Amino acid sequence: MLWIVATLIAAAAQTARNAMQSSLTGSLGTIGATQVRFLYGFPFALLFLAIVTCVAGAMPPTPNVGFLAFTVAGAVAQIAATALLLAAMQLRSFSVATAFGKTEAVQVAVFGFVILGDALTLLKAGAILVATAGVFLIAVKPRERWDAQSLRPALFGIASGGLYAIAAVGFRGGILALDEGAFFMRATTTLVWSLGIQAALLGVWMAAFDRENLLKSLTLWRQSLFAGFMGAFASQFWFLGFSLTSAANVRTLGLIEVLFAQAVSRRVFAEVASVRELAGMALVVAGVGVLLLAM
């Protein structure tokens, strides 16, 4: 059950990373702030791998074709998912776009079952649906306007969730494709490769089309470095979770991040949860509880 501890740490760290990254968006733009996660996170991933190598007393496993295929697919899918989610947020409210993005938990269960053969029982499927419904109750406000114009951002959000699901399955597939090494060694090796690929791809893109914000991120290195560390730290524990159980289990338990975000909002912004939001939180907790009982 170590995956539970790893996932809870990852969700908490990701909440902190999101708060830090949001402060950089105004200065660097959405793509620039996203690039910080990869560019400044990559050196920390290398540090984590060095520590893991010393602890294990063995060299990292050698990449193979299957590993590279899964990891590259996961890395590219995660970048595309982020772009689609940002596009949905520009067309629709942040909360609605987030809610559609969180359909990842349902989609990752399907993709994991089809691609990797991860077990999916009716009880687990029910738990995932209940927790996802809770996210919608929390995120979608009652006075949100819904009409034909809502279809495009909704599709963007759902597509984003699907790509995040493919990314999660790709990263788990990469970890499982490595032939040797302890679970933590395989997880950290996959993290290094994925962050390296993402930093290179986005770095080239920004150098060609958004050089101003790329250079600006270097001047804001103090804030960027901390955000990069938290991003790599969160990813390290997400990947540890992926190495121990199915991506569906990890991502469903990871919905607890919604509760962490609500706690931060209340603590920092003195916001009080409504009855609807409390009901949504209860559904998230209930869905997660059923999932753990089904293990």
d(CA 126, CA 248): 12
How many distinct structural domains can be found in the chain? 1
| pTM as predicted | 0.82
pLDDT for residue 22: 61
pLDDT for residue 248: 84
* Helical pair 211-219 and 2-39, crossing angle rounded to 10 deg: 110
Tens digit of each residue's pLDDT, the chain (295 residues):
899 999 999 988 887 776 666 666 667 776 777 778 888 899 999 999 999 999 999 899 999 999 999 999 999 998 888 778 767 766 655 556 666 667 777 788 888 888 888 877 888 888 888 877 877 776 666 666 655 565 677 777 788 888 988 999 999 999 999 988 899 999 999 999 999 999 999 889 888 888 887 888 788 777 788 888 988 999 999 999 999 998 888 988 887 777 666 665 565 545 555 777 677 777 777 877 777 666 6
d(CA 189, CA 42): 12
Token reading at 193: 């490769």
- List C-alpha distances in Å: 137 to 18, 133, 281, 292: 21, 6, 8, 22
pLDDT for residue 151: 66
**Residues of the domain holding 287:** 2-293
pLDDT for residue 257: 73
pLDDT for residue 269: 47
pLDDT for residue 79: 86
The half-sphere exposure of 137 on its side-chain side, counting CA atoms within 13 A, is: 21
d(CA 40, CA 214): 12
